[in-house]
């Protein structure tokens, strides 16, 4: 997919760069997806000032998540183009709109694809992080304040993605989707906490809650699954079993505490039966991170009766149906789901950043590649080829 950037394109980008930072200018370099599956194009895009309850952020680092690729390929819901993707990032508040009181220019922040208004029933509940106002919406390409885009080229709108659109030197985000963090935290590392890593980590620590010394099975060893394994390591699990049909992932997974591996293709019986035999009746906890309905069923049926807990993280096909015998529930197995690891973005993400700062959480091992913004299409190449967990995109390069 990667294409060589022409000299003309390089000159055009230099002209764009000259505009960045000028007082009174609102046009900055942005990677625009004009069509599904086509390479992103660096464009000069007008980024309007923030309106009520919005902030404009200067993005310093962003990373590529598989969700960006999924919707860029138009495999998701309603295709919306032209669009600015990106939702894992770290940056600094540049300006604030009317009504914003808990953020100020210069604050270091993480924009998040979901939000926390702090006023709805979900936000007020200690048991939910699914904000009624700011819950993820992959179809909406505009701001909720006025139904308009803050991005445009020659007056024509360029659409937002999940309220963040971080593949841009500047972006506008609802204040409820911005987590203020420790200014000492390196943004080129903690930016990956905006989505996948927090989702997997929280699925283990906040939902599965494995006791120290327990046995944990992780289905799917991509970035989210490895984050779930990292959570099991932090919790003190004694056995962390990785389940994946790609044996190439097993060696990498050792860095995240995975100490046993199972490839379902190596057996002629359901993998839940294999795991039950390995663990004297079943694992204590399982976390499913694939979105495959068969893996979801296996993750539930492999936990031990009486106390086993299975947590579903992956998003299945819209037509998928989960089927299991009711006795699996009556025998005191527990099935749970999670969204963003049950973290409330504004309230909880700062403490996750502190886990990294205290060296309890290791983020460097998730970061496998780094590219300058001008070569953002390389990040897509790495992910499509299965070579990367997270590729950091440096916006100043």
Catalytic center residues: 65-67, 87-88, 117, 120, 123, 131, 135, 195, 390
Which two three-digit tokens encode residue 371?
């590219």
CA distances from 298 to 244, 246, 325, 326 (A): 12, 17, 12, 15
Which two three-digit tokens encode residue 136?
């993820």
By the 8 A CB rule, do 188 and 90 touch?
Answer: yes
Residue 148 CB: number of other CB atoms within 10 A? 12
Give Cα 99 distance to the centre of its chain.
28
Nearest by Cα to 97 from 59, 133, 57, 56: 56
Cα(79)–Cα(63) distance, rounded to whole angstroms? Answer: 22
Cα(352)–Cα(230) distance, rounded to whole angstroms? Answer: 13
Question: What SS3 class is residue 292?
Answer: coil
Greatest CA span in the chain, whole angstroms? 67
Cα(309)–Cα(336) distance, rounded to whole angstroms? Answer: 7
Question: What SS3 class is residue 72?
Answer: helix
Which sign does the torsion angle of CA 363, 200, 131, 355 carry?
negative
Range 332-335, long-range pairs (CB < 8 A, 24+ positions)? 332/305, 332/306, 332/307, 332/308, 333/300, 333/301, 333/303, 333/304, 333/305, 333/308, 333/309, 334/303, 334/308, 334/309, 334/310, 335/300, 335/310
């Amino acid at each position: 997919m990667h294409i060589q950037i022409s000299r003309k394109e390089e000159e055009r980008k230099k002209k764009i760069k000259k505009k960045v930072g000028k007082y009174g200018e609102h046009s900055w370099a942005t990677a625009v997806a004009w069509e599904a599956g086509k390479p992103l194009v660096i464009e000069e895009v007008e980024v309007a000032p923030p309106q009520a309850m919005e902030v404009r952020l200067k993005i310093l680092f962003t990373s590529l998540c598989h969700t960006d690729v999924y919707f860029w390929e138009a495999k998701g819901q309603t295709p919306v183009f032209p669009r600015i993707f990106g939702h894992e990032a770290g940056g600094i508040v540049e300006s604030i709109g009317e009504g914003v009181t808990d953020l100020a220019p210069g604050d270091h922040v993480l924009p998040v694809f979901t939000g926390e208004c702090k006023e709805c029933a979900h936000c007020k509940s200690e048991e939910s992080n699914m904000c009624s106002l700011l819950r993820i919406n992959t179809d909406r390409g505009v701001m909720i304040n006025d139904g308009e885009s803050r991005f445009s080229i020659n007056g024509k709108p360029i659409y937002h993605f999940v309220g963040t659109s971080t593949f841009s030197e500047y972006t506008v985000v609802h204040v409820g989707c911005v987590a203020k963090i420790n200014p000492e935290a390196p943004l080129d590392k903690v930016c990956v906490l905006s989505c996948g890593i927090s989702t997997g980590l929280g699925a283990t620590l906040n939902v599965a809650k494995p006791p120290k010394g327990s046995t944990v099975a992780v289905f799917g060893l991509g970035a989210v699954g490895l984050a779930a394994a990292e959570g099991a390591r932090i919790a003190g699990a004694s056995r962390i079993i990785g389940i994946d049909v790609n044996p190439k992932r097993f060696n990498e997974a050792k860095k995240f505490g995975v100490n046993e591996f199972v490839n379902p293709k190596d057996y002629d019986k359901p993998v839940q039966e294999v795991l039950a035999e390995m663990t004297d009746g079943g694992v204590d906890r399982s976390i499913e991170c694939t979105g495959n309905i068969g893996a979801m069923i296996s993750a539930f049926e492999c936990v031990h009766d009486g106390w086993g807990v299975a947590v579903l993280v992956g998003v299945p096909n819209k037509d998928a149906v989960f089927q299991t015998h009711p006795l699996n529930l009556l025998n005191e197995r527990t099935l749970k789901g999670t969204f963003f690891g049950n973290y409330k973005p504004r309230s909880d993400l700062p403490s996750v950043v502190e886990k990294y700062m205290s060296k309890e959480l290791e983020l460097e091992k998730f970061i496998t590649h780094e590219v300058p913004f001008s070569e953002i299409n390389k990040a897509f190449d790495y992910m499509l080829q299965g070579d990367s967990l997270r590729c950091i995109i440096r916006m100043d390069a």
